[in-house]
């Protein structure tokens, strides 16, 4: 069994996994090349397989739902996610769409669980994200557990299509920039300096929001544990109304 490396993109991971499954090769481990810690005993194999034909033939064997599930796992922060995707796709080829009912198979149940976790965080973030109004655009900072910026931008593009906005994942140094036409993703190094001057009415509405948030709570029903269960503390940093708590 060998270690296999890929360049970090989803399509080359899929290409690699599909090649391994078709050639009946069982990998020891699959890792991004920049995350791989080399060891003395193993020479890793690096495959760059961003091959459209490969992906197309995989698409013929499994449904889009399977590929979406695999994509969500790919976005997760789980350590051995590549091996889970490998196991999941292998089972998906075998069982087709009934793979989703085969939770008796450990790797399948893990795959569904992790993908649901990523989807869940993406849904939460659609609510918890806060924009600040700058002079020229709306600006939000997020620090999600999973790499979900890629799957939440569509939501904001539909909603705020007539406003320019930027979402920054400060954990991963990724920016999603919407310019009224399309969303572009940039790395921290590619960004020219942003003008982060607040719009004139920003402090007024921030203050009104914090006021509303405090007023709407019913004192006789205080339940901080319940609050924390629904809005975990790890998100509070970027939730304006939690700042003074």
Partner 1 sequence: MTLKEKLIILSDSAKYDASCSSSGSTRRNSNGVGNAAYSGICHTFSSDGRCVSLLKILMTNACIFDCKYCINRRSNDVKRALFTPEEICEITMNFYKRNYIEGLFLSSGIIKSPDYTMEKIIETISLLRYKYHFNGYIHAKAIPGASEYLLKKLGKLVDRLSANIELPSDSSLKLLAPQKNVDKISTIMDTVKKNRSKSFTPAGQSTQMIIGASKETDLDILGKSEHLYNTYDLRRVFYSAYIPVNKDNLLPSIEMPPLVRENRLYQADWLLRFYNYKVDNLLDKNNPNFNVLIDPKADWALRHMEEFPKEINKASYYDLLKIPGIGPKSAKRIVSSRKYFKIEFKDLKKMGISLKRAKYFILCNGKYFTNMEIFNKRFIESNLILENKEPIKNVGVQLSLFNE
Binding site for partner 1 (CB under 8 A): 95, 98, 101-104, 106, 109, 113, 123-124, 126-133, 138, 140, 155-156, 158-163, 201, 204-205, 207-209, 211-213, 215-227, 229-231, 239-242, 245
Least CB distance to partner 1 at residue 37 (A): 30
Which CB sits closer to partner 1, 57 or 98? 98
CB atoms within 10 A of CB 108: 22
Least CB distance to partner 1 at residue 36 (A): 30
Which CB sits closer to partner 1, 6 or 137? 137
The four Cα atoms 119, 68, 24, 113 give a dihedral, to 10 degrees, of: 20
Which CB sits closer to partner 1, 189 or 215? 215
Closest CA to 47 of 97, 9, 1: 9
Which CB sits closer to partner 1, 42 or 208? 208
Angle at 232 between CA 228 and CA 238, to 5 degrees: 120
Closest CA to 80 of 190, 24, 150, 3: 3
Q: Where are the alpha helices (DSSP H) in 23-105?
A: 52-61, 64-74, 81-95
Least CB distance to partner 1 at residue 68 (A): 17
Least CB distance to partner 1 at residue 180 (A): 13
Residue pair 129/121 in contact by the 8 Å Cβ criterion = no
């Amino acid at each position: 069994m060998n270690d296999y490396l890929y360049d970090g993109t989803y399509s080359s991971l899929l290409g690699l996994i599909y090649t391994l499954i078709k050639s009946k090769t069982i990998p020891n481990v699959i890792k991004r090349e920049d995350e791989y810690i080399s060891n003395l005993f193993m020479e890793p194999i690096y495959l760059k397989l961003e091959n459209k034909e490969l992906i197309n033939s995989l698409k013929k064997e499994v449904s889009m739902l399977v590929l979406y599930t695999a994509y969500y796992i790919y976005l997760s922060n789980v350590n051995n996610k590549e091996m889970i995707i490998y196991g999941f796709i292998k089972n998906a080829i075998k069982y087709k769409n009934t793979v989703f009912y085969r939770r008796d198979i450990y790797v399948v149940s893990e795959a569904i669980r992790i993908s649901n976790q990523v989807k869940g965080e993406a849904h939460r973030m659609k609510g918890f994200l806060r924009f600040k109004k700058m002079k020229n655009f709306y600006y939000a900072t997020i620090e999600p557990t999973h790499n979900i910026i890629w799957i939440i931008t569509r939501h904001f593009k539909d909603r705020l299509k007539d406003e320019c906005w930027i979402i920054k994942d400060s954990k991963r140094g990724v920016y999603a920039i919407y310019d009224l036409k399309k969303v572009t993703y940039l790395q921290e190094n590619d960004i020219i300096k942003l003008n982060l001057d607040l719009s004139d009415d920003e402090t007024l509405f921030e203050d009104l929001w914090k006021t509303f948030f405090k007023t709407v709570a019913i004192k006789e029903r205080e339940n901080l544990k319940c609050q924390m269960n629904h809005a975990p503390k790890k998100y509070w940093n970027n939730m304006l109304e939690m700042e003074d708590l």
